[in-house]
Structure 1
Amino acid sequence: MWLPYSIVVVSLCTNGCSIFSPSRGSQTDYAAAKRSIENPVGVGGEPYGDGTFRPEGVSAEREGVTSDFFERIGLRAKRRRDVDLAQSLYGQADAAFEAAKTLEGEARAEAFRKAAGLYKDAAKNWQSSGLEQDALLMQAESHFFAEDYYRAELVFSELVKEYPRNPYLDHVGSRRFEIADYWLKSDAHQHKPFVVLNVSDPKKPWNDTGGHGMRVLERIRIDDPTGKVSDDTTMRIAVEQYEKGKFEEAAMTFEDLRMTYPDSEHQFNAQFLEMQSLLASYQGPTYSSVPLTDAHKRVLQIVKQFPKEAEEHQQEINQAYSKIRFQMAERVWEQAEYRRKRSENSSAKFHYNRILEEYGDTPFAERAQTGLDAIQGEPSDPPQRFQSLLWIFGDTPDDGRPWREMPQSAE
């Protein structure tokens, strides 16, 4: 009687345990992808013996039980693979691309657009292959030379998304950086509100040109954080934030460049502008002193690390240093005045003396001396105005409370 039940259990565990076991499912998908790479098959299930086909890319890596299921129920189209047609279209696209180089004006743009269409068709007919990877690159290049920058960026993004480890990352990053920089400069020259649509200029996105430029730069940093233009991208983002008056964000981005790319050619400019951003983000003596202290560190680091550049910018650095010392002295002065107004003269004297010792070269030194002279002979602490309440509740210095006792030295 137990035999049928046992057969069902064994059958389920043999065929369906991968459904309930994530690790088993992952191993199955990995094995399937590995087999497809080692033993590629063409149309009709026949293997390619010449080694021209090698599945790769995100779509190929995800091929497995789940994708097969979606293909069976019609929610996902099967990847196309017509090698002869794809290669033929790619050859035609190359010829059109070369012919477009010899033209000028609008005829040149139209020829590049035609080449882009042929590269697109070639990629569609041999998906998850080296040819598709190259075709996507050349399709984006064609749009770029046709000055259809928005379409070019979309295809570059598609290429990096499908083939995140492609050998053209540095080139793609450079192209995307050029496009983003152009959009940011165009927006700075003639800013248009978000709701205004662009329907006539293929160089720009539909709307929000500056916002698209910043998003492209951020994607470059995410897609290739150690690429050739990664430090340039970070610097461009920080400069844009600085010019837009977003000084706190700019200071953090400059700091990111300083810490992440220590060998970057932008190190001096990044640290110099980080110092300026920190000073601009400081909100006054009643707010945090962190921007001031960080800016002071940057001044000292710049002078030590970049002596030649510091000498060339000596006037700006001296002005920044003087401003930092003035604002630091102002913070101590505000503390001294606060204590004096509360008749906490002992604490006020401490702050006045600190100004004289540490910030004697600032205008607050003379004020501090005047404040010291004014409280000479005054009691150190404010008068106790509720002495009767202290007597009633027994809160006197000698009431035996532990925290009021003088600490004894350890023997």
Structure 2
Amino acid sequence: MSEPLPRSRAFSPPAFVVAVAALAVALASAGCRGGSSPGLRGLLPTARRGADVDAPGRQALLARWMGVPQADDQVRRAGGGGLVLRPDGWASKDATTEDRRAAEFEAAEQLYLQGDLDAAERAFARIARKERPSGIKRFADSLTELEGLDDFDRRRSPWGMRSLFYLGEIRFKKGNYVGAHDTFEELLKEYPGTPHLDEAVSREFQIAQTWLNQVRPAEDQPPLPWHARFRGGLPLIDTGGHAVSVLEHVRQNDPAGPLADAAVKLIADHYSESGDHETAAFYYDQLINDHPKSPLLHDALMSSVDSKLNAYIGPEYDFTGLAQARDTAKRAMQLFPERLTSTSDDIYHTLDLIADQEAERDYTMGEWYRSAGYVISAEYYFGGIVQKWPRSNWAEKARAQLAELATMPRKETAPSKMMVQPGGNDPFSQGISSGNPGGLGPGSTMGP
């Protein structure tokens, strides 16, 4: 058995506790004048309000180190100086800090009102940069649910919000539409409850209109010059795609606003004019479903019908768009009966065109079954054309096909056994089902 350690080398818990207590007493006597870690402020509960900080004997070490908020919302420290709790977090104890910030903003605002946009832009950019929350503060804002932080107001000051709005306005007036859009997006992201929501969304809508006009210029509005790309007036590439992205931001930032339906309409029109009729019909349907009371509803209905017809390739491909176009046209007739007098010819012509496309598709299917030797299936499709569209040109062709099919020999075609459910009976295969010879019924025989 090994010998016990000498007393000098053994670990003595009482000695360790005594050493920690001595260190705490030394720090308390020194008053903790060596500074403090700002990262702990606001993360631990402070001392009781109204505690006597001038009596070290009755003050806890941590409470003296953190400081005690007084009635004037100031933090007193034993070593002098201190902090003040502002709406945007802890700041210097200097009573004139808020006044200086207000004066700085008023000076920048005066530059804007005087028309000196360059100087005002620099001033507002400086204010917005200083008011922008850092990564540490963002992390601290996420910890507001900790105990002891309920009394702290983590809202940022209004100076940053107003500075971003003015900064976006200045860049918009100077023609820097790319910078203006980025600024407005930062404003709406950092301050989702800003009172400048309507103005920011309206500016973004105007920016999107300017960029879409660059793709397809209007007669009364010339496009921007090519060198505007180097001054922030236009994106470097894909102006139309950036315009659609801005319109999507308009919808996301204010989905129930007055410009949401117009933004969807512009997106759909852009895709329709670009030849992407399937995507255009998708956005037209979004306007119809999301904004049923929009003044653009009738135009969206008719444009949706046209886009679905243009997206239809031919009878050999998917025909779902034809049925959807027919239903959309009938919905337009039901919702706007007063407009049938002016647009009835167009609507009925569209319905006739849809019916003609459907008849062509059925005729194509009947021809395929006839060429494959399935006489009964071919007669089904040709007969359906005569019954549904008796006055169409395809009905005359279908009658001729039916006359030829009447003279052709017929042979009974048994359906595939793979289509029979397990355990089910197949009457066309003489009672033999998929792996189940039973259940043939009375009088039935098995096999040929």
TM-score, with structure 2 as normaliser: 0.65
Q: What is the RMSD computed on CA atoms of the aligned residues?
A: 3.6
Match of 1:365 in 2: 395
Match of 1:106 in 2: none
Match of 1:54 in 2: 87
Residues 363, 394 of structure 2: 8 Å contact kept: yes
Which of 162, 171, 177 aligns to 1:134? It is 162
1:112 equivalent in alignment to 2:143: no
Q: Aligned pair count?
A: 328
Report the structure, 1 or 2, having the larger helix content: 1
Q: Structure 1, residues 273-330: CA drift from partner, whole Å, max 9, x if none?
A: 1111111111111111110000000110001101233432233322321110011001
Gaps of 5+ in 2: 1-10, 18-41, 47-68, 91-95, 133-155, 219-225, 415-425, 443-448
**Residue identity opposite 2:129 in structure 1:** K
Aligned partners of 2:182, 2:74: CA distance in 1, in Å?
31
**Matched residue SS, 2:242:** helix
Larger RCO of the pair (alpha carbons < 8 Å, separation 6+): 1
**Residue identity opposite 1:315 in structure 2:** D
Residues 382, 398 of structure 2: 8 Å contact kept: yes
Match of 2:180 in 1: 152
Q: Structure 1, residues 121-148: CA drift from partner, whole Å, max 9, x if none?
A: 2233444311111111111112222222
Aligned partners of 1:175, 1:148: CA distance in 2, in Å?
12
**Matched residue SS, 1:113:** helix
Aligned partners of 1:276, 1:118: CA distance in 2, in Å?
52
Match of 2:284 in 1: 254
**Residue identity opposite 2:255 in structure 1:** P
Residues 431, 440 of structure 2: 8 Å contact kept: no
Residues 235, 257 of structure 1: 8 Å contact kept: yes
Give how far 1:343 is off: 2.4
Q: 1:113 to 1:149 in 2, by over 3 A?
A: farther
Match of 1:235 in 2: 265
Match of 1:186 in 2: 214
Residues 302, 310 of structure 1: 8 Å contact kept: no
Residues 83, 126 of structure 1: 8 Å contact kept: no
Q: 1:40 to 1:166 in 2, by over 3 A?
A: farther
**Residue identity opposite 1:54 in structure 2:** P
1:176 equivalent in alignment to 2:204: yes
Which of 91, 99, 110 aligns to 2:114? It is 99
1:313 equivalent in alignment to 2:346: no
Residues 296, 324 of structure 1: 8 Å contact kept: yes
Aligned partners of 2:336, 2:413: CA distance in 1, in Å?
55
Q: 1:31 to 1:320 in 2, by over 3 A?
A: farther
**Matched residue SS, 2:380:** helix
Aligned partners of 1:131, 1:252: CA distance in 2, in Å?
42
Aligned partners of 1:165, 1:295: CA distance in 2, in Å?
41
**Residue identity opposite 1:122 in structure 2:** I
Give how far 1:226 is off: 2.4
Match of 1:214 in 2: 244
Aligned partners of 1:139, 1:288: CA distance in 2, in Å?
51
1:280 equivalent in alignment to 2:310: yes
Aligned partners of 1:220, 1:89: CA distance in 2, in Å?
32
Aligned partners of 1:84, 1:281: CA distance in 2, in Å?
63
The structure with the larger Rg is 2
Which of 335, 346, 354 aligns to 2:384? It is 354
Give how far 1:200 is off: 4.3
Give how far 1:205 is off: 2.8
**Matched residue SS, 1:206:** coil
Which of 312, 324, 333 aligns to 2:363? It is 333
Aligned partners of 2:246, 2:75: CA distance in 1, in Å?
37
1:85 equivalent in alignment to 2:122: no
Residues 250, 263 of structure 2: 8 Å contact kept: yes
**Residue identity opposite 1:251 in structure 2:** A
Give how far 1:163 is off: 1.2
**Matched residue SS, 1:283:** coil
Aligned partners of 1:169, 1:40: CA distance in 2, in Å?
32
Q: Structure 1, residues 62-115: CA drift from partner, whole Å, max 9, x if none?
A: x9xxxxxxxxxxxxxxxxx95333322211122122222xxxxxxxxxx22322
Alignment of 1:298-309 (within 5 A): 298-309=328-339
Q: 1:406 to 1:353 in 2, by over 3 A?
A: farther
Residues 83, 125 of structure 1: 8 Å contact kept: no
Give how far 1:223 is off: 2.7
Alignment of 1:394-409 (within 5 A): 399-402=430-433
Aligned partners of 2:252, 2:311: CA distance in 1, in Å?
27
Aligned partners of 1:140, 1:293: CA distance in 2, in Å?
47
Aligned partners of 1:396, 1:239: CA distance in 2, in Å?
55
**Residue identity opposite 2:123 in structure 1:** L
Q: Structure 1, residues 2-42: CA drift from partner, whole Å, max 9, x if none?
A: x99xx9xxxxxxxxxxxxxxxxxxxx98999xxx9xx9879
Aligned partners of 2:43, 2:394: CA distance in 1, in Å?
72
**Residue identity opposite 2:185 in structure 1:** S
Q: Which moved more, 1:395-404 or 1:370-379?
A: 395-404
- Percent pairwise identity: 25
Q: 1:29 to 1:293 in 2, by over 3 A?
A: farther
Q: 1:87 to 1:207 in 2, by over 3 A?
A: farther
1:163 equivalent in alignment to 2:191: yes
Give how far 1:401 is off: 0.9
Aligned partners of 1:41, 1:314: CA distance in 2, in Å?
75
**Residue identity opposite 1:160 in structure 2:** L
**Residue identity opposite 1:364 in structure 2:** W
Match of 1:344 in 2: 374
Aligned partners of 2:114, 2:282: CA distance in 1, in Å?
48
Q: 1:83 to 1:260 in 2, by over 3 A?
A: same
Aligned partners of 1:376, 1:30: CA distance in 2, in Å?
93
